[in-house]
Amino acid sequence: MAIIVLCVDDNADGLAVRKALLEAKGYKTFTASDGPTGIALAEKHAFDLVVLDYQMPGMDGEEVALVLKSRHPHLPIILLSGFPGQLPERLLQLVDAFVAKGESPAVLLSKVEQISGEKDQRKVG
């Protein structure tokens, strides 16, 4: 059974690249261009993992993460940001992993594989 990932980012190009990258590795990937859409999708689908941008208009990544974690406490979230030095510590404590937007796609894939591998082990055990 494929791992199902939700990617939330207001940058359409970045979202398309991440979707293609994840799907090339066999992940089923849904996308949302803003926080409210991402939250609505999370209510309709059982995601195994969320890749979430921090800086978005309207509802930022911290607000989205708070809602998702309050409704789905065990849903892993990987936070993306182009401004790693400006992230509040409380947000870094809330999410499961962090990837800077300037890092190589291999870094994101590594985090996704690590977290999804842990989920696979939990399902088996």
pLDDT (0 to 100) of residue 22: 96
CATH superfamily of 4-124: Response regulator (3.40.50.2300)
C-alpha 83: how far from chain center: 16
How far out from the chain centre does Cα 45 lie? 14
Please tell me what DSSP assigns to residue 28.
Answer: E
Please report the pLDDT score of residue 97 as a whole number. Answer: 94
Question: What's the distance, CA 49 to chain centroid?
Answer: 6
Tens of pLDDT, residues 34-89: 999 999 999 999 999 999 999 999 999 999 999 999 999 999 999 999 887 888 88
Domain boundaries, the chain: 4-124
37-44 CB contacts, 8 Å cutoff, 24+ apart: 37/8, 38/6, 38/8, 38/64, 38/68, 39/64, 39/67, 39/68, 39/71, 41/6, 42/6, 42/68, 42/71, 42/72, 42/75, 43/71
* Cα–Cα nearest to 78, from 48, 98, 103: 98
Contacts of 20 (CB under 8 A, 6+ apart): none
**pLDDT > 90: what percent of the chain?**
79
- What is the pTM (predicted TM-score) of this model? 0.91
